[in-house]
Structure 1
Amino acid sequence: MYERSEPLLTINAAPATPGRGIFVFGAPRGGTSMVAGALSLLGVDMGRRQGHGNNEDLDIQEARGPVGELADAEGKALAAALERMRPVIAQRAENSEAWGWKDPHGAFYAPQVEADLPAPRLMAVFRDPQAAAQRVHMLTERPLFDALEDTLKLYERCRAYLAQTTQPAAMVSYEKALVRPALFVAQLAAFCGLSPGREQIEAATAFCYPERGHGSPTDPGWPNRGAF
């Protein structure tokens, strides 16, 4: 029998209760904005202050600081970033409702913060690496093959982390989510323990449309200037 792969593949099952500490990571230009925007439309608090067009929690991102040296798990830069981030995460953890944040570079520090999350849901988003790297190259003028190397290294960090964590975790295929958005939204809500209403489901499904672009879910999108 022919079986299609899923937009969201659960690695470690999650309880039915709402996620409090929904952490979305992957690689720059790799689809994390789409997942974070869909979560926001499903009712998840993804941060009080949002980055324009990227659905990132500015409080956590500013506490994290530059990503340049965070790849060294034993380095001083990561230790300092964690010291700054942990009070912000602890404050957000006081929220009794579903909450989370998105950071494309989050695999650099996910192992260190998972214990700080009251009811974690850990999601790594994967996109065609060439497409993600090409977008980075187009937007930043970083040499294409350097951008591709960066993307592949981040995806390897995601793979290694998902292979060892025992917390509720899942992999998301950006392309599969675009092809089957209704199924993806249903899987996303189930994995995160959400109970969205019909209008929320419809809005999140419409957000996962390739020609829309996946910045702020409150923006109307950009016809013909979308995700691809």
Structure 2
Amino acid sequence: MAIENLYNTGIKKIGDEKAFAAEQKTLIVVGPARGGTSMVAGTLDNLGVFTGQGSNAPVFEDVRLANAAENGTVADVRRVVEDYNAQHDVWAYKRPGIINNFGKIHDTVRNPVYLFIFKDIFSMANRNSISMHLDVVNGLNVALEGYQKITGFIKRRQPTGLLLSYDRVMQNKEAFVDVLTQLIAPATVTDEQRAAALAFIDPNPEAYLNASRVTRGVGHIASLSASELSGAGHYVAAPGRDVEVEVRVNGEVVGRTKADGHQFAYTFESPLSTDDVVSVRLTDDVVDFATETFSN
């Protein structure tokens, strides 16, 4: 036996082998929130797979089918599925919420092939703590419950699909892209698409990290003088929330001020000097929403 047979590739097929080779199939990406589903769906998208109406970077979620599955009837789901089937031999669906309602999708789509992604649960819980301000221990429990729902579905329905290790995929992107290419159909994937897919796979994608945090603030500096600063800012996820702005000069925090609505003003205790860099962020955020260099 060759020693490579003992390697843990982090990729394992389950179910009906014939389903993998079928020309027509529906690829269903499954994992708890923050569990790597956006990485899998985004890789498929870069390989040329249709990932649904309303699906866009960085999360690649099918808005139309998700709305039908979560808020509509089986008939609503069937109408969307039939529309997609008519246009695409192979298409993909990604929505972490599917773990709470596998039935509507599984029993309706054509030849479902699942891509189950498994990730370190602490990294998931910690990401939710950073991005969503959720308790880490509660996050660990939520992740465990999510994986219990997934393994329960696998035991009950014996689906066809791939079990994927997020960590192993990150260590060997080429093998992962090769497996997906074979699943899609090698003849349909161009060299450019393969290169784009490999470039897309990133353990810390900036666009995703930025979009996924509930504390993300946006705004601008309206005016800046040696003694005063004014502008506007708000939380993207909660535009009506009360705002407090943190002011920095050359990277050092010099003070905070509350906003009236979205508008804020701040008076510097010490006048600015030429080339001082002023940056502002919302106090719950970790990223500046505006930066400006002072000049007389």
Q: TM-score range by the shorter chain?
A: 0.7 to 0.9
Larger radius of gyration: 2
Matched, 1:62 2:67: yes
* Counterpart residue type for residue 16 of structure 1: A
* Counterpart residue type for residue 8 of structure 2: S
Which 4+ stretches in 1 moved above 4 angstroms?
Answer: 80-84
Contact 1:22 1:101 in 2 (8 A): yes
Q: Deviations over 1:158-217 (max 9, x none)?
A: 1121233344211111111110000011112223445312111111112112243574xx
Matched, 1:197 2:202: no
Written as runs of structure 1 = structure 2, the 5 A alignment for 1:107-126 is: 107-126=99-118
Map of 1:173 onto structure 2 = 165
Map of 1:149 onto structure 2 = 141
Q: Aligned-residue CA RMSD in angstroms?
A: 2.4
Map of 1:23 onto structure 2 = 28
Matched, 1:160 2:160: no
Query: Which residues of structure 2 form unaligned runs of 5+?
Result: 209-286, 288-296
Q: Deviations over 1:70-101 (max 9, x none)?
A: xxxxxxxxxx5656434323322323331111
Written as runs of structure 1 = structure 2, the 5 A alignment for 1:64-143 is: 64-65=69-70, 82=74, 84-143=76-135
* Counterpart residue type for residue 205 of structure 1: L
Of 88-97 and 177-186, more deviation after overlay is shown by 88-97
Map of 1:72 onto structure 2 = none
Query: Which residues of structure 1 form unaligned runs of 5+?
Result: 67-79, 216-224
Contact 2:77 2:105 in 1 (8 A): no
TM-score, structure 1 normalization: 0.79
| Percent pairwise identity | 23
| Per-residue deviation, 1:32 | 0.3
* Counterpart residue type for residue 183 of structure 2: F
* Counterpart residue type for residue 20 of structure 1: K
2:11 to 8, 11, 31: 8
Question: Residues 4 and 109 of structure 1: is their aligned pair in 2 closer, same or farther, counting only changes over 3 Å?
Answer: same
* Counterpart residue type for residue 34 of structure 2: R
Question: Residues 161 and 169 of structure 1: is their aligned pair in 2 closer, same or farther, counting only changes over 3 Å?
Answer: same
Contact 1:123 1:172 in 2 (8 A): yes
- Greater strand share, structure number: 2
Distance 1:162 1:193 in 2: 25
Q: Deviations over 1:144-164 (max 9, x none)?
A: 122211111111111121233
* Counterpart residue type for residue 11 of structure 1: I
Equivalent residue of 2:60, what SS? coil
Of 38-47 and 136-145, more deviation after overlay is shown by 136-145
Matched, 1:47 2:52: yes
